[in-house]
Amino acid sequence: MELRDRVVVVTGAANGIGRAMARRFAEEGARAVVVADVDGDGAARVTAEITEAGGTALAVACDVSVEADVEHAVERAEDECGPIDLFCSNAGIGVGGGVDAPDEDWNRIWQVNLMAHVYAARAVLPGMLARGEGYLLQTASAAGLLTNVGAAPYSVTKHAAVALAEWLAVTHGDAGIKVSCLCPQGVRTNMLMAGRDRREGSVVLAAAPALEPEDVAGSVVEGLRAERFLILPHPEVAEYFRRKADDYDRWLAGMRRLQARVAGATGAARTPEG
């Protein structure tokens, strides 16, 4: 898909990867970019950045974990900008810890990192299917293909996001619906920096040198152009994923070595071995 003349919604677009995608899509000539975020002031700021640069953007305050908010964002986008060509379900949060993390943390991250994608697909698919075309992009993570040492809720919900993207691609691909799943490792955003400050297991994410959000936006534009399912701004993730599929037990042993190093380490995490 080319972005020119498209109506695009990006959630979590007040900061980080979402902001970089929204700005880049506008530069690519999108007809309108809907900047949706729970941080309404932040969404308005990014909208102003886009319009000042000559693009067209609309800010919508939206908590993606609340289905009515997602429905409202879609309605506003379609009323003010026209049918949505591309919906980027990108907002996400990080929660560290293991199975002992409190239920309220598990429930919160499940809502934001998984159910938000379900709500988005529910809201836009009927129109896209009726038109016989549409594009869904879900931001998961390399942690959704591999795992994230020290962060069970994050790893599990990102695996679920990858599974949902796969399911949507399989189920609706022949009806004209394109799906891409964005799976970066570390990206220099508030999320990564907050995880590092808390030292809470952003290990797979932090294993590779962190990219800038603008680099990720560039990979997304290229991946959308190629209509590729898996968009990997860190290409080495494909090799880790291949090694995992090739010999799961060997991969688990390598991840346990990584976990042991991290548990005993005072310094930075190292690249996982497969």
Ligand X SMILES: NC(=O)c1ccc[n+]([C@@H]2O[C@H](COP(=O)([O-])OP(=O)(O)OC[C@H]3O[C@@H](n4cnc5c(N)ncnc54)[C@H](O)[C@@H]3O)[C@@H](O)[C@H]2O)c1
Closest to 56 measured CA to CA, from 75, 29, 74, 78:
29
| Minimum CB distance to ligand X smaller for 112 or for 258 | 112
Q: Does 138 bind ligand X (CB under 6 A)?
A: no
Does the footprint of ligand X cover residue 39 (CB under 6 A)?
A: yes
Query: Which residues in 47-106 contact ligand X (CB under 6 A)?
Result: 62-65, 90-93
The tokens for 111 are 């809502």
Q: Which of 119, 135, 154, 240 is catalytic?
A: 154
Enumerate residues 165-204 that contact ligand X by CB under 6 A: 184, 186-187, 189-192
Select from 174, 132, 178, 168 the least CA-distant residue to 1: 178
Q: Which helix (H) or strand (E) holds 42?
A: helix 40-52
Is the alpha carbon torsion for 121, 127, 128, 130 positive or negative? positive
Secondary structure (3-state) at 198: helix
Pick one of 12, 55, 150, 201: the residue that binds ligand X (CB under 6 A).
12
- Let me know if 154 is a catalytic residue: yes
Neighbours of 199 (CB within 10 A): 10
The SS3 of residue 30 is coil
Nearer to ligand X, 194 or 260 (CB): 194
- Compare residues 199 and 250 and give the one whose CB is closer to ligand X: 199
Summarize as ranges the residues that interact with ligand X (CB under 6 A): 11-12, 14-18, 37-39, 42, 62-65, 90-93, 112, 139, 141, 184, 186-187, 189-192, 205
